[in-house]
Amino acid sequence: MKMLINSPETVVADALRGLAAAHPELDVDVDRGVVVRRDARDGGHVGLVSGGGSGHEPLHAGFVGYGMLSAACPGEVFTSPVPDQMLRAAKAVEAGQGVLFVVKNYTGDVLNFQMAAELAEDDGVRVEQVLVNDDVAVTDSLYTAGRRGTGATLFVEKIAGAAAEEGAPLEQVAAIARRVKACSRSFGVALSACSTPAKGGPTFDLPDGEMELGVGIHGEPGRERRAMMPARGIAEVAVGAVLEELVEVAPADGPVLALVNGMGATPLLELYGFHAEVVRLLEARGVPVARALVGNYVTSLDMAGCSVTLCRADAELLRLWDAPVQTAALRWGR
């Protein structure tokens, strides 16, 4: 496989150096693997820290900035960051109001963030955690006990980040984050496998003419494989799976935030066409789309495919979603 890298061993460090050069508003510690807002402690707000394996960019470092994350901890490709990174990030952003850890439900992330939270508490930093587990495709996978954390992570980080920016206390920011998580569901589809720099080729076998329904963001197996279908058929499977789970989330007739997320190698031409099918299906089922986001936000290296995330959103969540944000990958209203 041809890759625009120097070597597999330096790919994450090289990317962090590039992030630092492109975004001087960020303090990027390449050697220790921590990305922090330079103004993270200004205003005495709750700090938001997230992180996970690299390869899912712009998640998480691309969401560090005003109105979103205070810091992010990138691990090696598809590998959890270590507790020292998370502890260092928490201390860097703590401004007297505590820190919220946003954790995707992958075993390494869960264990390491928990250890970091305990270490931070020992050092006098109050920590709350929210565990994002929005993927409806499978209950357990190669990486998780329970459901995987995927696209809803973006919703949690944006909405909780807005609440923190407004000066909400830690308990309230954590409660809002948990509410967003509880109101969100996702489903992913792979049209091709991803290729890690270390392997230099596809991480799993997906024959020509087939797709993986319910794939995970590391290429974990989904619900089933089928012959390739037109976008409308794929959308019917994904939207149907998500709505089946959202039935339990009130209000049943309320609007949704909709994310059509590219897995890394699918062009916007296809993603916008797929979004049109998603909206058509939601409208047919009487589900209004209050806000929509289309693009590559929670990726899986060079995987072709997409995921659909829907979040039942009341007036408060929509207000916080609309609040100004300025990060490397998401920005509006400022």
Helix (H, G, I), strand (E, B) or coil at 51: strand
- Residue 144 has what DSSP assignment? -
**For residue 241, what is the enclosing H or E element?**
helix 231-246
Of 68, 93, 71, the closest CA to residue 325 belongs to 68
Pairing of strands 47-54, 65-66: unpaired
23 catalytic? Reply is: no
Question: Degrees (nearest 5) of the Cα angle 135, 170, 310?
Answer: 25
45 catalytic? Reply is: no
| 189 backbone dihedrals φ, ψ, rounded to 5° | -135, 130
The 3-state DSSP composition of the chain as helix, strand, coil percent (nearest 5) reads 35, 25, 40
Identify the active-site residue in 23, 56, 60, 275: 56
Identify the active-site residue in 23, 45, 60, 218: 218
**For residue 101, what is the enclosing H or E element?**
strand 99-104
In this structure, the chain runs to a length of 334
8 Å CB contact between 215 and 305? yes
Residues with a catalytic annotation lie at 56, 218
